[in-house]
Structure 1
Amino acid sequence: MSRVNDVGGQTGFGPVVVEEDEPVFHADWEARVYALNIALVRRGVYTLDEFRDAIERMPPQAYLAASYYERWLHAIEVLTAERGDAERGGDE
């Protein structure tokens, strides 16, 4: 069963538009989400495979309505909530 993000070979999505000189991040919050994901992966809170799966589990309407880094934030929220307090770590 394919998920909403599996659009390879499907019609109706149009060409991928690449903007010249497009910035990596369009807003400061996107850079923070990127950095948070890297930190959580490095700490072993979750793996990149789990991160990707969390994005792919988004409901189709939410996935299509979200920006790239909104999807990342969703995955971080889902994965940290699924793990709960037991795997938080730190000096709390």
Structure 2
Amino acid sequence: MNGVHDVGGKHGFGPVFTMDNEPVFRENWEKDVFSVIGLYFASGLCPLDEFRYSIEIMDPAEYLSTPYYVHWLRAAENLSYWNGLFTEEELNERIKQIENGEKK
């Protein structure tokens, strides 16, 4: 399947810019997402093909306009739903609580 995420090695997308000494993680939340996916792999909740699929189903516009670890975050969300860890409604409710400054 060729999707928006399968552009590696294709011509016409311009140069790839990299920074000297670019950090692995640009924001602290990216470390958290990386750790969560690692835990999913270690626990068996995340076979590699499901991880890739959970990224491939992202909306193409979101995929192209978001940083790398947002893709992993969407994968973590999808895998959580599929494995019954929480529902989309529960996640949205928790997001509202955090936005309102509520602590758990």
TM superposition score normalised by structure 1 = 0.83
Which residue of the partner structure matches residue 79 of structure 1? 79
Which residue of the partner structure matches residue 26 of structure 1? 26
In structure 2, give the amino acid aligned to 1:6: D
Which residue of the partner structure matches residue 44 of structure 1? 44
Which residue of the partner structure matches residue 68 of structure 1? 68
- Secondary structure of the residue that 2:51 maps to in structure 1? helix
- Secondary structure of the residue that 1:13 maps to in structure 2? coil
Aligned length: 86
Give the % identical residues: 45
Distance 2:21 2:78 in 1: 32
- Secondary structure of the residue that 2:8 maps to in structure 1? coil
48-57 vs 32-41, which moves further? 48-57
Structure 2: segments with no counterpart, 5+ residues: 86-104
Does 1 or 2 have the higher relative contact order (CA < 8 Å, sep 6+)? 1
In structure 1, give the amino acid aligned to 2:43: R
Distance 1:8 1:45 in 2: 28
Q: Which runs of 4+ in 1 moved over 2 A?
A: 8-12
Distance 1:66 1:49 in 2: 22
Q: CA RMSD in A?
A: 1.7
Structure 1: segments with no counterpart, 5+ residues: 86-92
